[in-house]
Structure 1
Amino acid sequence: MTAVVPPPRSAEGLLRPRRLTRAEDGERLRSLLWVAGPGWRMISSAVLGGGIGERAWVLNAQVSHGYRRTDPDRHLAALAAAAGVRGPGVGLMTAADVSAYAHARDGGAEAVVTSGIDVRGWAASAEEGGGPRAPGTINIVVAVPAALTDAALVNAVATATEAKVQALLEAGYDCSGTPTDAVCVAARAPSPGDEPCTFAGPRSLWGARLARAVHRAVLHATSAR
């Protein structure tokens, strides 16, 4: 059975994830579920709901160390269904304890970050292949209350990643991340007559706000370890 813990009363803003718990293979595992509702477009590198499209929820699920399932998309879909969400969404996973997440906001942009950095390194490494390795994963979920073009959504992923690396270096980690990091950026779907933002780089309005929110959240999540 999945237990749902409501968000704290002090939580405000767009990103208000609920904490879920479940028993699986003799372990007590946790998840974060953000039900964004209709009217959102998301871009993600997630195994479930990845790519660009309309999405209504984001699930960030903790899995056991040494995860061996070869169908993580079906696993995440089953967890989302058990949590009561329907329709298209995004499913992320990590071996880290997601209940210890960090949240930051800047000018309306918000970021929630879960961090496991036991396995880390630089992206341009001499090491090749081998597939994903647990338990190191940094998952970043960002919400922006503005409409972004497809190109700006891609730009936002790059900006969030740059901010992540900046925070890791400031936290004292000589790395660009872990081999299994994932990101999801959610933006409002454009209303009739809206003109979506065409840029989300670090010097654009929403890119700058997104970068500062991600930077603070990653810095807090990694410095607390």
Structure 2
Amino acid sequence: MSLIPPADAGRPEPPLPDPAVLRLDPAADAGRPGRLVLGHRREDGVRLASLLWELGPGWRAISSAMLGGGIGPAEWVLNAQVPGAYARMDPVDHLREMAPPGPGVGMLTAASVGRFTRAADGGAHAVTTVGLRVPTWAAAPEGVPDPELAPPHLPGTINIIAAVPVAMSDAALVNAVMTVTEAKTQALVEEGFPCTGTASDAVCVLARADGPEELFGGPRSTWGARLARAVHRAVRQGARDWARRDDSNT
């Protein structure tokens, strides 16, 4: 896979922050809409984390998530951890059991939600959870299994939640999802993972519901570029953390 280097290729990239410090430092949330709430619950004897991004009214989302997927209003986004051997056949109902009232987006992952990473760029914000047990090329030969990098009990899903403080047209939201996905893949390749992601990745992009609409969300548009940089940094950090993983489930 060949990558076209960005215009500032060759410039030293600033060091990526330690996500543990980010979680403990209130200044890390400066300028981010709403608030992040990290909670824990027990299911089947396992301690599991859930990350809730509370935004309130005035937002809409485009998402591939099972709960609240498509385009519509969103007052919150929930990223809930489940056991690696998750076998419930009612995931949407399960998410509703954990979610707050009102419209929102809910996604599940077996990755360690407590190890979420986040980054910001010019008002665009990204929060990710990264698991890479089974890296996947989007266009793979039929019948050829994806290689596994780790034992089955280690998780492998990348969930991305990103937000911009401006309104976007429907077309721009679709374009923003493309941009976020491209930034994710760039980060993974740069961290040495030969893949475009995993087969179970989910994404959610949030924009304001009111105000002048941005018509473009591509990587060279103002807000698309900011989204791309924020997602790129958050996914790179998450990939680095996963490469240093252990099998704790906290």
Alignment partner of 1:95 is 2:110: yes
Alignment partner of 1:123 is 2:138: yes
RMSD of aligned alpha carbons:
1.9
**In 2, distance between residues paired with 1:195 and 1:106?**
21
**In 2, distance between residues paired with 1:37 and 1:211?**
24
- 1:126, distance to aligned residue in structure 2 (A): 2.2
Alignment partner of 1:78 is 2:88: no
In the other structure, the counterpart of 2:222 is 205
Verify the 8 A CA contact 1:145 1:187 in the aligned structure 2. yes
In the other structure, the counterpart of 1:183 is 203
In the other structure, the counterpart of 2:41 is 22
Instruction: Specify the code of the residue in structure 2 equivalent to 1:63.
Output: V
SS at match of 2:79: strand
In the other structure, the counterpart of 1:51 is 70
Q: Structure 2 unaligned runs (5+)?
A: 1-22, 146-151, 243-250
Instruction: Specify the code of the residue in structure 2 equivalent to 1:115.
Output: V
In the other structure, the counterpart of 2:13 is none
Q: Structure 1 unaligned runs (5+)?
A: 1-5
Instruction: Specify the code of the residue in structure 1 equivalent to 2:192.
Output: G
Alignment partner of 1:39 is 2:58: yes
- 1:39, distance to aligned residue in structure 2 (A): 0.1
Alignment partner of 1:214 is 2:231: yes
The CA deviation string for residues 105-135 of structure 1, in whole angstroms up to 9 with x for no partner, is: 000000001001111110111246x9xx983
**In 1, distance between residues paired with 2:113 and 2:135?**
18
- 1:8, distance to aligned residue in structure 2 (A): 4.7
SS at match of 2:214: coil
**In 2, distance between residues paired with 1:86 and 1:8?**
29
**In 2, distance between residues paired with 1:218 and 1:112?**
9
SS at match of 1:146: strand
Alignment partner of 1:168 is 2:185: no
**In 2, distance between residues paired with 1:127 and 1:182?**
23
In the other structure, the counterpart of 1:12 is 30
